[in-house]
Amino acid sequence: MQSLQLYMFGSNKSEIHIQELKIDKQGIGGCGGLIRRKKGAVAIRITYKDIHMVFISCHLSAHAHKVEERNSECRHISHSLFSKSLNPYAKPAQVTVWLGDLNYRLQGINTFPARNLIHKNLHELLTPKDQLLQEAERGQVFNGYCEGTLAFKPTYKYNIGTNDYDTSYKVRVPAWTDRILYKIEDKEINATLHLYESIEGIHSSDHKPVKAHLCLKANKS
Strands (E), 28-168: 40-48, 51-59, 95-101
* Alpha-carbon span 215 to 179, nearest angstrom: 18
Q: How far is CA 9 from CA 12, 22, 98, 194, in A?
A: 9, 15, 17, 19
Which residue, 178, 142, 147, 153, is CA-closest to 59?
178
All domains in the chain, ordered by first residue: 12-214 (3.60.10.10)
179 contact partners, CB below 8 Å, separation of at least 6: 99, 100, 102, 104, 132, 147, 210
Q: Are 174 and 198 in contact (CB under 8 A)?
A: no
Whole-number pLDDT of residue 102:
97
The C-alpha atoms of residue 209 and residue 200 are separated, in whole angstroms, by 8
Ranges of beta strands (E only) in the chain are 18-27, 40-48, 51-59, 95-101, 178-184, 189-198, 210-218
pLDDT tens, per residue, the chain with 221 residues = 467 889 998 877 756 677 788 999 888 865 444 445 568 999 999 998 889 999 999 999 999 999 999 999 999 999 999 887 777 666 789 999 999 999 999 999 999 999 999 999 999 999 889 999 999 999 999 999 999 999 999 999 999 999 999 999 999 999 999 999 999 999 999 999 999 999 999 999 999 999 999 999 988 75
